[in-house]
Amino acid sequence: MEIVVCVKHVPETTEVELKIDKSGKNIEKSGLVFDINEWDDYAVEEAIRIKERNGGNVTVVTVGDEGVDSTLRKCLAKGADKAIRITDKRINYSDPFIVAKILSRAIKQISFDLVLTGAQSSDDGYSFIGPALAELLDIPHVTLAKKIGFKDKHALVNRELEGGLEEVVEVELPALITIQTGINEPRYVSIMGIKKAMKKEIKVYSIDDLGLSDLDVGIENSWIHISELSIPPVERKAEFITGSPEEIVSKIIEIIKSRGLI
């Protein structure tokens, strides 16, 4: 089975104080550590497992600058066979619709049975690119997969609904499936894998290579324009309990005692 996985290189921001840059439309990226988007890590793992069971190839594709190669190398080290990066200054400030368009052009050049993306990116969080890309590729899609099986020319997918409910959906291949966390347990990179990955090539394309031009990309052609970023207003500002750990603990006990909870 020929599988394409779309991966995004994203900043790790859960424990960092984010600052908005001078333009007001971006966060300050300097000093942030980047890694593969969490959902995409599960998608790559799923692709490699399908390949290990059924044979075939896994190609990872990304839209980004040179900086994203560490994520591509990681995927190659885990067992992906090929990597493609689309890099072009003209893509800057493009919205996810444009990114989907670029990905679709790159993927159309490959023969594939299955395309996987993450259910969402942890930075932008649009949950847009998967199904949009499927439409551009003119193939069916299933989102939020928690389990994937194959039967003849079909995939059987358990997709996640709300509240722990799932639904089973049958989809004809080729198809695009977006991957939800928890579908598998992503492997770690092995030393052997890293060595092997060094020999694998990362193919780099510009938008011209994909038959696109200025008229297709960039902010003017994007659907979404960011007007301004801000720090979210607080709904119910917590009263902070401060002091030494001992003092903090005493105050917590006071609060829960006053509510009759101990």
Ligand X SMILES: Nc1ncnc2c1ncn2[C@@H]1O[C@H](COP(=O)(O)O)[C@@H](O)[C@H]1O
Ligand Y SMILES: Cc1cc2nc3c(=O)[nH]c(=O)nc-3n(C[C@H](O)[C@H](O)[C@H](O)COP(=O)(O)OP(=O)(O)OC[C@H]3O[C@@H](n4cnc5c(N)ncnc54)[C@H](O)[C@@H]3O)c2cc1C
What distance in Å separates the CA atoms of residue 203 and residue 180, rounded to the nearest whole number? 28
Among residues 105, 80, 89, which one has the least CA distance to residue 201?
80
| Piece in contact with ligand X (CB under 6 A), picked from 1-9, 135-143, 190-198, 229-237 | 1-9
Please, are residues 82 and 203 in contact by the beta-carbon 8 Å criterion? yes
Evaluated on CA atoms 127, 101, 9, 75, the torsion sign reads positive
In the complex, the smallest distance separating the C-beta of residue 46 from ligand X, rounded to whole angstroms, is: 12
Residue 88's binding partner out of other proteins, ligand X, ligand Y, none, with CB under 5 to 8 Å set by partner kind: none
Phi, psi of 9 (to 5 degrees): -95, 120
In the complex, the smallest distance separating the C-beta of residue 132 from ligand Y, rounded to whole angstroms, is: 16
Per the DSSP assignment, residues forming a β-bridge with 176 are 115, 141
What distance in Å separates the CA atoms of residue 66 and residue 158, rounded to the nearest whole number? 36
What distance in Å separates the CA atoms of residue 118 and residue 126, rounded to the nearest whole number? 11
Binding status of residue 143 toward ligand Y by CB under 6 A:
no
| Piece in contact with ligand X (CB under 6 A), picked from 6-14, 163-171, 203-211, 225-233 | 6-14
In the complex, the smallest distance separating the C-beta of residue 87 from ligand Y, rounded to whole angstroms, is: 28
Binding status of residue 235 toward ligand Y by CB under 6 A:
no
Q: Which of 59, 71, 94, 121 binds ligand X (CB under 6 A)?
A: 121
In the complex, the smallest distance separating the C-beta of residue 97 from ligand X, rounded to whole angstroms, is: 10
Please, are residues 205 and 85 in contact by the beta-carbon 8 Å criterion? yes
In the complex, the smallest distance separating the C-beta of residue 36 from ligand X, rounded to whole angstroms, is: 9
Residues contacting residue 43 through CB under 8 Å, at least 6 positions apart: 5, 6, 7, 116, 117, 118, 178, 179
State which of positions 13-52 bind ligand X (CB under 6 A): 37, 39-40
Q: Which of 68, 91, 106, 119 binds ligand Y (CB under 6 A)?
A: 119
State which of positions 15-74 bind ligand Y (CB under 6 A): 15
Residue 152's binding partner out of ligand Y, other proteins, ligand X, none, with CB under 5 to 8 Å set by partner kind: none
Pairing assessment for the beta strands 82-86 and 57-63 based on DSSP bridges: parallel
Binding status of residue 130 toward ligand X by CB under 6 A:
yes
What number of residues does the chain have? 262
Q: Which residues are near ligand X by CB under 6 A?
A: 6-8, 37, 39-40, 62-64, 96, 99, 103, 117-118, 120-121, 124-130
Q: Which residues are near ligand Y by CB under 6 A?
A: 14-15, 119-120, 144
